[in-house]
Amino acid sequence: MRHEEENLQKACVSWFDIQYRHMKDYLHHSPNGGRRNTIEAARFKAMGVRAGFPDLVLMIPRGGHPFLAIEMKSKDGTVRESQKHFKEIFERVGALYVVVRTFEDFQATINEYLSKP
């Protein structure tokens, strides 16, 4: 993940942990990005890390969705084919999948999602 996306994600998670502290354990990041040496990359792959898996998953059902998947992107970041593949998979099982590009987008997405019954 580029630093711009990493910094955005850190700010979003920090806000979530304060705003929704009683739900913070339901928001998860799978460490599938970044640079790794060949051995470590092979270990992670063998443990089930998949390229394109979204950056955050909020494991709370709302509005008929079993969970919310969030892909963090910089303002100019492009969604890769592997990420589009996971969007299709997640939507197939009924999850809501969103691409977030700003802190404000994250706040609005979370607040709207959690306001649903």
Question: What pTM, to 2 d.p., does this model score?
Answer: 0.91
State the total domains in the chain.
1
Query: Which structural domain range is residue 100 located in?
Result: 3-115
What's the CATH number where 29 sits? 3.40.1350.10
pLDDT bin (cut points 50, 70, 90) of residue 1 is very low
pLDDT of residue 36 exceeding 80: no
pLDDT bin (cut points 50, 70, 90) of residue 29 is very high
The answer for residues whose C-beta is within 8 angstroms of residue 84's C-beta and 6 or more apart is 52
- 12 φ/ψ sector (left φ>0, alpha ψ -120 to 50, else beta): alpha
